[in-house]
A and B are shown apart, each in its own frame.
Chain A
Amino acid sequence: MKSQESGSMSTAVAIIPAAEDNDRLSPLFVEHYRRVLMSAYRIAGNMADAEDVAQGVFLRLGSGEAAAMANAETYLYRAAINGALDLLRRRKAGATEPLECAEAMASTEPSGSPETAISSRELGRHLRQAIGELAPRAAEIFALRYLEEMENREIAKLMRTSSAVVAVTLHQAPSKLKKRLTELQRGKR
Protein backbone atom coordinates (compact mmCIF):
# COMPACT_ATOMS: atom_id res chain seq x y z
CA MET A 1 0.00 0.00 0.00
CA LYS A 2 1.47 3.31 -1.04
CA SER A 3 -1.14 5.71 0.24
CA GLN A 4 -0.04 8.69 2.21
CA GLU A 5 -2.01 10.45 4.87
CA SER A 6 -0.88 13.62 6.51
CA GLY A 7 -2.58 14.82 9.66
CA SER A 8 -6.20 14.33 10.57
CA MET A 9 -8.89 13.68 8.01
CA SER A 10 -10.12 17.24 8.19
CA THR A 11 -6.71 18.79 7.60
CA ALA A 12 -5.34 16.35 5.04
CA VAL A 13 -4.84 18.02 1.68
CA ALA A 14 -4.09 15.14 -0.62
CA ILE A 15 -4.59 11.48 0.08
CA ILE A 16 -3.69 9.64 -3.06
CA PRO A 17 -4.04 5.89 -3.17
CA ALA A 18 -1.69 4.04 -5.51
CA ALA A 19 -2.80 3.62 -9.12
CA GLU A 20 -3.75 -0.03 -8.71
CA ASP A 21 -5.89 0.88 -5.69
CA ASN A 22 -7.51 3.64 -7.72
CA ASP A 23 -8.70 1.24 -10.40
CA ARG A 24 -10.49 -0.73 -7.77
CA LEU A 25 -11.72 2.27 -5.82
CA SER A 26 -13.17 4.33 -8.68
CA PRO A 27 -16.21 2.18 -9.48
CA LEU A 28 -16.95 1.72 -5.79
CA PHE A 29 -16.70 5.46 -5.26
CA VAL A 30 -19.02 6.26 -8.15
CA GLU A 31 -21.53 3.65 -7.09
CA HIS A 32 -21.57 4.25 -3.36
CA TYR A 33 -20.18 7.66 -2.37
CA ARG A 34 -23.56 9.36 -2.45
CA ARG A 35 -25.25 6.86 -0.16
CA VAL A 36 -22.25 6.58 2.14
CA LEU A 37 -22.23 10.36 2.49
CA MET A 38 -25.99 10.40 3.17
CA SER A 39 -25.68 7.68 5.80
CA ALA A 40 -22.94 9.59 7.57
CA TYR A 41 -24.79 12.90 7.19
CA ARG A 42 -28.01 11.65 8.75
CA ILE A 43 -26.15 10.63 11.88
CA ALA A 44 -23.49 13.33 12.05
CA GLY A 45 -25.96 16.10 11.22
CA ASN A 46 -23.55 18.28 9.29
CA MET A 47 -21.77 18.07 5.98
CA ALA A 48 -18.21 18.69 7.19
CA ASP A 49 -18.27 15.71 9.54
CA ALA A 50 -20.13 13.55 7.04
CA GLU A 51 -17.49 14.27 4.40
CA ASP A 52 -14.68 13.40 6.77
CA VAL A 53 -16.37 10.12 7.61
CA ALA A 54 -17.16 9.25 3.98
CA GLN A 55 -13.66 10.07 2.76
CA GLY A 56 -12.12 8.09 5.60
CA VAL A 57 -14.25 5.09 4.69
CA PHE A 58 -13.12 5.15 1.06
CA LEU A 59 -9.54 5.85 2.03
CA ARG A 60 -9.44 2.77 4.23
CA LEU A 61 -11.05 0.72 1.51
CA GLY A 62 -8.52 1.98 -1.02
CA SER A 63 -5.61 1.41 1.35
CA GLY A 64 -6.42 -2.26 1.43
CA GLU A 65 -7.43 -2.22 5.09
CA ALA A 66 -10.79 -3.63 4.14
CA ALA A 67 -9.74 -5.27 0.91
CA ALA A 68 -10.02 -8.71 2.39
CA MET A 69 -13.69 -8.17 3.02
CA ALA A 70 -15.74 -10.08 0.52
CA ASN A 71 -18.44 -7.45 0.35
CA ALA A 72 -17.20 -3.90 -0.05
CA GLU A 73 -20.74 -2.52 -0.04
CA THR A 74 -21.39 -4.01 3.36
CA TYR A 75 -18.16 -2.55 4.67
CA LEU A 76 -18.93 0.90 3.27
CA TYR A 77 -22.29 1.43 4.93
CA ARG A 78 -21.34 -0.08 8.27
CA ALA A 79 -18.14 1.93 8.32
CA ALA A 80 -20.01 5.13 7.45
CA ILE A 81 -22.55 4.60 10.20
CA ASN A 82 -19.96 3.63 12.79
CA GLY A 83 -17.69 6.50 11.83
CA ALA A 84 -20.55 8.95 12.25
CA LEU A 85 -21.62 7.32 15.53
CA ASP A 86 -18.06 7.71 16.84
CA LEU A 87 -18.29 11.39 16.04
CA LEU A 88 -21.59 11.67 17.91
CA ARG A 89 -20.06 10.06 20.96
CA ARG A 90 -17.09 12.39 20.88
CA ARG A 91 -19.32 15.39 20.57
CA LYS A 92 -19.78 17.03 23.93
CA ALA A 93 -23.28 16.89 25.27
CA GLY A 94 -25.04 20.14 24.62
CA ALA A 95 -22.52 21.30 22.06
CA THR A 96 -24.01 23.31 19.27
CA GLU A 97 -23.99 22.13 15.67
CA PRO A 98 -22.16 24.10 12.98
CA LEU A 99 -23.87 27.07 11.39
CA GLU A 100 -24.35 25.09 8.19
CA CYS A 101 -27.14 23.20 9.95
CA ALA A 102 -29.25 26.32 10.02
CA GLU A 103 -28.57 26.83 6.33
CA ALA A 104 -29.48 23.24 5.60
CA MET A 105 -32.72 23.68 7.50
CA ALA A 106 -33.62 26.64 5.36
CA SER A 107 -32.76 24.82 2.16
CA THR A 108 -34.54 21.55 2.89
CA GLU A 109 -37.76 23.00 4.26
CA PRO A 110 -38.56 25.96 2.09
CA SER A 111 -42.32 25.76 2.32
CA GLY A 112 -42.65 24.83 6.01
CA SER A 113 -43.39 27.30 8.73
CA PRO A 114 -40.36 28.41 10.74
CA GLU A 115 -41.87 26.67 13.80
CA THR A 116 -42.18 23.38 11.91
CA ALA A 117 -38.66 23.64 10.59
CA ILE A 118 -37.13 24.45 13.97
CA SER A 119 -39.12 21.74 15.68
CA SER A 120 -38.03 19.16 13.12
CA ARG A 121 -34.39 20.22 13.29
CA GLU A 122 -34.47 20.24 17.07
CA LEU A 123 -36.04 16.79 17.20
CA GLY A 124 -33.40 15.44 14.83
CA ARG A 125 -30.65 16.95 16.94
CA HIS A 126 -32.06 15.39 20.08
CA LEU A 127 -32.38 12.00 18.43
CA ARG A 128 -28.76 12.19 17.27
CA GLN A 129 -27.69 12.95 20.81
CA ALA A 130 -29.81 10.11 22.20
CA ILE A 131 -28.46 7.63 19.63
CA GLY A 132 -24.94 8.67 20.57
CA GLU A 133 -25.69 7.75 24.17
CA LEU A 134 -26.79 4.20 23.31
CA ALA A 135 -24.37 1.28 23.52
CA PRO A 136 -22.37 1.17 20.25
CA ARG A 137 -23.95 -2.04 18.98
CA ALA A 138 -27.47 -0.92 19.81
CA ALA A 139 -26.85 2.43 18.13
CA GLU A 140 -25.61 0.71 14.99
CA ILE A 141 -28.55 -1.68 14.87
CA PHE A 142 -31.01 1.18 15.39
CA ALA A 143 -29.39 3.23 12.62
CA LEU A 144 -29.36 0.31 10.20
CA ARG A 145 -33.02 -0.48 10.91
CA TYR A 146 -34.60 2.94 11.15
CA LEU A 147 -32.32 5.26 9.21
CA GLU A 148 -31.10 2.87 6.52
CA GLU A 149 -34.36 0.91 6.67
CA MET A 150 -32.77 -2.50 6.47
CA GLU A 151 -34.68 -5.64 7.40
CA ASN A 152 -33.86 -7.42 10.66
CA ARG A 153 -32.48 -10.45 8.86
CA GLU A 154 -30.22 -8.26 6.72
CA ILE A 155 -28.90 -6.56 9.84
CA ALA A 156 -28.33 -9.91 11.53
CA LYS A 157 -26.36 -11.15 8.54
CA LEU A 158 -24.38 -7.93 8.31
CA MET A 159 -23.50 -7.95 11.99
CA ARG A 160 -22.99 -11.70 12.16
CA THR A 161 -25.56 -12.19 14.84
CA SER A 162 -29.00 -13.75 15.09
CA SER A 163 -32.28 -12.15 14.11
CA ALA A 164 -33.41 -12.70 17.70
CA VAL A 165 -30.57 -10.52 19.01
CA VAL A 166 -31.48 -7.83 16.49
CA ALA A 167 -35.15 -8.04 17.46
CA VAL A 168 -34.40 -7.75 21.17
CA THR A 169 -32.08 -4.81 20.54
CA LEU A 170 -34.73 -3.13 18.43
CA HIS A 171 -37.19 -3.58 21.26
CA GLN A 172 -34.89 -2.13 23.91
CA ALA A 173 -33.17 0.67 22.02
CA PRO A 174 -36.33 2.58 21.01
CA SER A 175 -37.57 2.43 24.61
CA LYS A 176 -34.39 4.11 25.79
CA LEU A 177 -34.53 6.60 22.95
CA LYS A 178 -38.13 7.53 23.71
CA LYS A 179 -37.31 8.23 27.33
CA ARG A 180 -34.20 10.21 26.46
CA LEU A 181 -35.99 12.18 23.77
CA THR A 182 -38.70 13.14 26.20
CA GLU A 183 -36.06 14.31 28.68
CA LEU A 184 -34.23 16.29 26.04
CA GLN A 185 -37.45 17.91 24.87
CA ARG A 186 -38.06 19.00 28.44
CA GLY A 187 -34.64 20.57 28.57
CA LYS A 188 -32.71 17.92 30.51
CA ARG A 189 -29.15 17.51 29.24
Chain B
Amino acid sequence: MKREEESLLDRATHALQADVPDPDTITASAAKAAQRLGIQIDHEVFSGAIRNCDDVRQLLDAWPLLHPSGRWIL
Protein backbone atom coordinates (compact mmCIF):
# COMPACT_ATOMS: atom_id res chain seq x y z
CA MET B 1 0.00 0.00 0.00
CA LYS B 2 2.75 2.42 1.01
CA ARG B 3 4.74 1.55 -2.09
CA GLU B 4 1.65 2.12 -4.20
CA GLU B 5 1.23 5.62 -2.70
CA GLU B 6 4.90 6.31 -3.27
CA SER B 7 4.62 5.33 -6.90
CA LEU B 8 1.48 7.42 -7.32
CA LEU B 9 3.23 10.55 -6.05
CA ASP B 10 6.28 9.84 -8.20
CA ARG B 11 4.15 9.47 -11.30
CA ALA B 12 2.11 12.56 -10.50
CA THR B 13 5.23 14.64 -9.83
CA HIS B 14 6.75 13.45 -13.06
CA ALA B 15 3.57 14.32 -14.92
CA LEU B 16 3.79 17.90 -13.68
CA GLN B 17 7.53 18.14 -14.42
CA ALA B 18 6.90 16.99 -17.95
CA ASP B 19 3.89 19.22 -18.49
CA VAL B 20 5.47 21.93 -20.61
CA PRO B 21 3.85 24.14 -23.22
CA ASP B 22 5.07 23.79 -26.78
CA PRO B 23 7.67 26.31 -28.04
CA ASP B 24 5.20 28.17 -30.27
CA THR B 25 2.90 28.76 -27.33
CA ILE B 26 5.80 30.10 -25.28
CA THR B 27 6.89 32.39 -28.11
CA ALA B 28 3.36 33.73 -28.52
CA SER B 29 3.01 34.20 -24.79
CA ALA B 30 6.31 36.07 -24.56
CA ALA B 31 5.33 38.34 -27.43
CA LYS B 32 1.99 39.10 -25.79
CA ALA B 33 3.57 39.75 -22.40
CA ALA B 34 6.31 41.91 -23.90
CA GLN B 35 3.71 43.99 -25.68
CA ARG B 36 1.69 44.48 -22.52
CA LEU B 37 4.79 45.41 -20.57
CA GLY B 38 6.08 47.67 -23.35
CA ILE B 39 9.26 45.67 -23.81
CA GLN B 40 11.04 45.15 -27.13
CA ILE B 41 12.20 41.55 -27.56
CA ASP B 42 13.85 39.42 -30.18
CA HIS B 43 11.24 36.72 -30.80
CA GLU B 44 13.93 34.25 -31.84
CA VAL B 45 15.00 34.08 -28.21
CA PHE B 46 11.71 32.43 -27.33
CA SER B 47 11.49 30.13 -30.31
CA GLY B 48 12.35 27.01 -28.37
CA ALA B 49 16.06 27.04 -28.98
CA ILE B 50 18.12 25.29 -26.33
CA ARG B 51 19.86 28.08 -24.46
CA ASN B 52 20.91 26.66 -21.12
CA CYS B 53 20.88 23.66 -18.79
CA ASP B 54 17.28 24.30 -17.71
CA ASP B 55 16.12 23.99 -21.30
CA VAL B 56 17.93 20.64 -21.64
CA ARG B 57 16.50 19.42 -18.34
CA GLN B 58 12.96 20.27 -19.41
CA LEU B 59 13.42 18.37 -22.64
CA LEU B 60 14.77 15.35 -20.77
CA ASP B 61 11.84 15.46 -18.34
CA ALA B 62 9.38 15.54 -21.21
CA TRP B 63 10.96 12.62 -23.05
CA PRO B 64 9.24 9.67 -21.29
CA LEU B 65 5.80 11.16 -21.89
CA LEU B 66 6.54 11.96 -25.49
CA HIS B 67 7.91 8.46 -25.95
CA PRO B 68 6.16 6.12 -23.48
CA SER B 69 8.09 3.09 -24.68
CA GLY B 70 11.02 4.58 -22.73
CA ARG B 71 13.48 3.81 -25.49
CA TRP B 72 16.19 6.36 -26.11
CA ILE B 73 17.38 7.08 -29.57
CA LEU B 74 20.91 7.90 -28.52
Q: Are A47 and B29 in contact, with the CB atoms below 8 A? A: yes
Task: Count A-B contacts at CB 8 Å.
Answer: 135
Q: Are A22 and B39 in contact, with the CB atoms below 8 A? A: yes
Q: For residue A15, which residues in chain B have a CB less than 8 angstroms away from its CB?
A: 36-38
Chain A contact-residue range equals 35 or more
A38–B46 CA distance with the chains assembled, in angstroms? 12
A103–B34 CA distance with the chains assembled, in angstroms? 25
Q: Are A174 and B9 in contact, with the CB atoms below 8 A? A: yes
Chain B contact-residue range equals 35 or more
Q: For residue B33, which residues in chain A have a CB less than 8 angstroms away from its CB?
A: 29, 33, 51, 54-55, 58
**Is A26 an interface position by the 8 A CB rule?**
yes
Footprint of B on A, CB under 8 Å?
Answer: 12-17, 22, 25-26, 29-30, 33-35, 37-38, 41-43, 45, 47, 50-51, 54-55, 58-59, 62, 104, 107-113, 116, 120-121, 123-124, 126-128, 146-147, 149, 174, 177-179, 181-182, 185
